[in-house]
Chains A and B, each alone.
Chain A
């Protein structure tokens, strides 16, 4: 399981990459894709949608599960990774390259974890 140091993480297993200028990218963690199994579909919002911190912005589906995606902050969707819509397996293969959203004008961020703290959280969830 990988937990890259340059990212921060939400307790709901999204990773966040700070792009500066109040912009960020969001994806789901290695731990999340692993526990979901083979991902078959991802449902993303549209560019321009306004999201609130903690709000669900879409979901990912595997054959046996569906998991909601939560926005760690408020802001506006400035881009979505359209490649994932056709090739959702990329999330399994390269979770940290398979970003889902770019957001701008972000505010009201929930408390994010650093890589070590997030790894500890994942360990505890695995028992």
Chain B
């Protein structure tokens, strides 16, 4: 059995002597006898480190790792520069707590401040928080920022990621607020329907760009339509696409949110990921979660602190708009190191490669008869029809390729900079064999 107890039996006895007790059990005299377990837990005996490594290696080998991935739908495989893992594995970053004690936490605080700056840059908005759990819960938090006494209904584009729609529905319903879906036409949000739905009790509208089907929404006039009705515009973005597409700031969004996983986080079976949130100066005091600010210390040196804390649960208690009291600090650092490594040109390069490769894939699928089901522009995902989805995907899987995600109208394909032309050509040949 393994444990991490440095005190020897002898030292434990010495300590008990100082306290004036004769056994470890005596420490629990406050617990009534009938509440004590008084049996061995029904879990296995402890294991040595070597046994643990073997056990988990075998478990991990029960999973299939595909050398070639053409599936996205909310989780994307990108190249992660090796320095990202090297930095985020540093033990101090890994094992520190939330930076409550500023003097002892400048490193963590500054890294968050730098992350906030990068997210503000990426989204074209004024301020970012220190991050939240993931992209889906970020939308739930954003919806809560927009509600007031007169407006409480959140409209969500039906072209948003289904995981996000499910999560925001839970968030809104749980505090007895209503959610309504905006219909989709030809793979994008139906603006005419949106206008009809924008009645006086609507507090916010959520539009995802690019949307779940990979389509680039026409964001030129969402802000105008939504603001004219007195509601707020929440724009969900893919952070890679944001390097080249019009920013939420340029689109007039009040809040930008998104899933930060593409910024250097591996797929990891769905987590840990990163929810990012940015907003305008006007709404900053409604922004939930940790926020780091710059100030000076008693000698005038630059210093960073957690700030605007009166928004938060430990002060506002039941009047806080959110109970969140942590962030995904290490994931935020991951994103910051990723963006710092790639730089502005590298970020644009990733985005352009994703989009170019997805278009090449689409053209090649088209030539063998898998036709795109939507018109309009797309980023790095698109849907084609397919008469026998199961057969196509199974054939790809047996050749080491994770194909697109089966959806109602066919297959949702994704390409990133990781998919080489050779990978794409191989996929085309394989698909051709079974259709």
Pair B285/A66 contact, Cβ less than 8 Å: no
Residues of B within 8 A of A (CB): 285, 309-310, 315-316, 319
What is A's interface to B at a CB cutoff of 8 Å?
A: 40-41, 43, 61-66, 68
Q: Which residues of B contact A41 (CB under 8 A)?
A: 285, 310
Shortest Cβ-Cβ A-B pairs, 6 listed: A61-B310, A66-B310, A66-B315, A66-B316, A65-B315, A41-B310
For A61, list chain B residues within 8 Å (CB): 310
A to B CB contacts below 8 Å, 14 in the list: A40-B310, A41-B285, A41-B310, A43-B285, A62-B310, A63-B309, A63-B310, A64-B315, A65-B315, A66-B310, A66-B315, A66-B316, A66-B319, A68-B319
Q: Please measure, in the bound complex, the distance between the C-alpha atom of A62 and the C-alpha atom of B319, giving whole angstroms.
A: 16
A-B contact count (CB 8 A): 17
Min C-beta distance of B100 to chain A, whole Å:
13
Q: How far is the CA of A64 from the CA of B100 in the complex (A)?
A: 13
Docked CA distance A123–B319 (Å): 28
- CB neighbours (8 Å) of B316 from chain A are 66
**Complex Cα spacing A41 to B310, Å:** 9
Q: Chain B contacts of A62 at CB under 8 A?
A: 310
B316 and chain A: residue at smallest CB distance? A66
Most chain A beta-carbon contacts within 10 A, residue among B285, B310, B315, B316: B310
Task: Name the distance in Å between B148's Cβ and chain A's nearest Cβ.
Answer: 12
- Which residue of A has the minimal Cβ distance to B305? A63
Cα-based distance from A111 to B319 in the complex (angstroms): 27
A65 to B319 alpha-carbon distance, docked (Å) = 12
Closest residue of chain B to A61, judged by CB?
B310
A65 to chain B, nearest CB (A): 6
Instruction: Write the nearest CB–CB distance from B306 to chain A, whole angstroms.
Output: 10
Return the chain A residue nearest B285 by Cβ: A41
Most buried by B among A40, A61, A62: A61
